Chain A
Amino acid sequence: MKFWEFIGSLDRRIIFLIIGLAVFIPLLAPLKLPVITTPTTEDVYNAIDSLENGSKILVSFEYGPSTQPEIEPMAIALMRQLFRKECQVVGMALWPDGQFMSTTVFDRTAEQEFGLEWGTDYVNLGFRPGGEAVIKGIAREFRANYTQDVRGNSVNDLAIMEGVYSVKDFDFIFSLSAGYPGTVEWVLYAADPYKIPMSSGTTAIQVNEVIPYVKGGQIYGILAGMSGAAEYETLVKAPDDATKFMDAQSIAHLLIVVFIVVGNISYIVQRRKQN
């Protein structure tokens, strides 16, 4: 009985230490657990795979440094799939720090991996304040809301923007979202009213909010958190950070479940004792 009392009142610093080790050790010595893809991730991959080569894609970055480890792996895998299909990618951000996130992703993929040309193959238009008002604005008149890219070039001088006057001129929208404004606003004000195909990559916690739109057919699939990113990396055949992080996440989740079970056994034992 004393054992379960001890377990029930375990110092939280011990729990912190165990969780820390459970995350840290698999990062140093990867277990290489197999990543099994799910239908929602396959839907995202297939939707992009079915696009014609050279399609114009609008990618919106709605995340910041706090959710970067979860969303950035899917952003990088997305760019790899798009650039392999020679798609023209226009980046924008509804979050102020999304502009920095997009710059990091474009630098790593478009510039370093693919050696693409700014303004012709891809461009980063950066952040505009206003949330859903920005989406509504570009849905009608893109150039009234975005007059220049993050390097200060006029949108009218960019080859990639030729023929782009509203969001309807894009073949596909992809929202990389960690909250508001994000995927839901893109569905409500652009993708659904103007019938533009759309997919999304979100944090695990946001999936619950977005899944009704996925199951309703308004969004083609969803990359759900780190596991969704790892599955997508597998489909794109470019395992990277998310695949590495899945080992740590697997062990951490398992450990939390063990904590819950042990905590409940302790609770039941002590309750019986009291009764």
Chain B
Amino acid sequence: MFWKTQIPVFIVFVVGMLTLLQWFIPHAPLNQIQVHMTQWFDIIAVFAIVLGGLNLLKLQFAKITSRQHDWQYALVTIVGFFVMLIFGFTKMGVEDEAVRLGSHLQREGSNFHWMFFNVFTPLSSTMFALLAFFVASASYRAFRIRNAEATLLLVAGIILMLGRVPIGHILTAWAPPYLQLPAIQEWIYSVPNLAGARAIMIGIGLGMVATSLRFILGIEKSFLGGDE
């Protein structure tokens, strides 16, 4: 109980208070402590990749061993993981011996560089590009004027889609400037959308302050896991 609950809560309290206080007292030693703490955070963030990697392997191996649906893809993931790991930690493909480990990732000719630009980049771009097709199909089937709110959303969406591209300007070039699609979409962005976005941001901000205080004061203990 002491090691699993009270010590972590105490650490969160001390670190949280120090981080909070340095905003209000930006002088030594608090401002120096903050510099060190951001570096500690960087170091901890680096270690997170180990946890992430292990978690990925655990899940994918479980998929293969229990022969879950599409388990073959899990095999591809594991092979890809280890291939990139090996290419990342060795200078395979780099002929210049003077190139340091780490710098080789950026060096044209290294296997890691080749894999990144010839496998990872086209795959990522393809996945993102597929959105265009699915958005078109989904808007055709689901974007319906079922009620007043949906109609408002649909009209605003159409104005934004056309107003952001050159064809929107051509379509309404005959109208007075303030009635042209680019001008209307600019108004939508700058007035109703901005008001909504600010309201959401203020709400999120207040929520974050409340949640942070709950963590610092030990009221919220969900980060400990379990039912705490």
Q: Which residues of A contact B (CB under 8 A)?
A: 10, 12, 15-16, 18-20, 23, 33-36, 38-39, 64-69, 97, 99-100, 103, 126, 128-131, 133-134, 136-137, 140-141, 144-145, 150-152, 204, 207-209, 211-212, 215, 224-225, 227, 246-247, 249-257, 259-260, 262-264, 267-268
Contact = CB atoms under 8 A, between A and B. Distances in A.
Interface centre among A36, A207, A262 (most CB of B within 10 A): A36
B137 A12 contact: yes
Given A16-B133, A136-B38, A103 B165 contact: no
A133 B107 CA distance: 28
Contact of B161 (A36, A103, A253): A253
A247 B46 CA distance: 43
Contacts of A128: 42
A260 B161 CA distance: 12
A270 to B, nearest CB: 11
Interface string B130-143: 00110111011101
21 contacts: A12-B140, A16-B136, A16-B137, A19-B136, A20-B133, A38-B182, A66-B125, A66-B127, A66-B128, A97-B116, A100-B117, A126-B106, A136-B34, A140-B38, A252-B132, A252-B136, A256-B139, A262-B140, A263-B140, A264-B144, A268-B145
Contacts of B201: 212
Interface of B, helix, strand, loop or mixed by DSSP: helix
Contact of A212 (B125, B133, B194): B194
A249 B129 CA distance: 12
B167 A253 contact: yes
B221 interface: no
B38 A130 contact: yes
Contact size class for B? 35 or more
Given A35-B166, A140-B35, 5 more contacts: A12-B137, A38-B182, A129-B45, A141-B35, A253-B162
B17 to A, nearest CB: 17
Contacts of B31: 140
A68 B121 CA distance: 9
A212 B194 CA distance: 6
Contacts of B168: 250, 253
Interface string B51-81: 0000000000000000000000000000000
B115 to A, nearest CB: 11
A113 B45 CA distance: 37
Contacts of B137: 12, 15-16
Nearest to B120: A65
B106 A99 contact: yes
Contact of B186 (A38, A64, A251): A38
A97 B219 CA distance: 38
B186 A39 contact: yes
Nearest to B167: A250
B166 A250 contact: yes
B164 A224 contact: yes
Given A20-B133, A257-B158, A263-B143, A207 B189 contact: yes
B154 interface: yes
A152 B189 contact: no
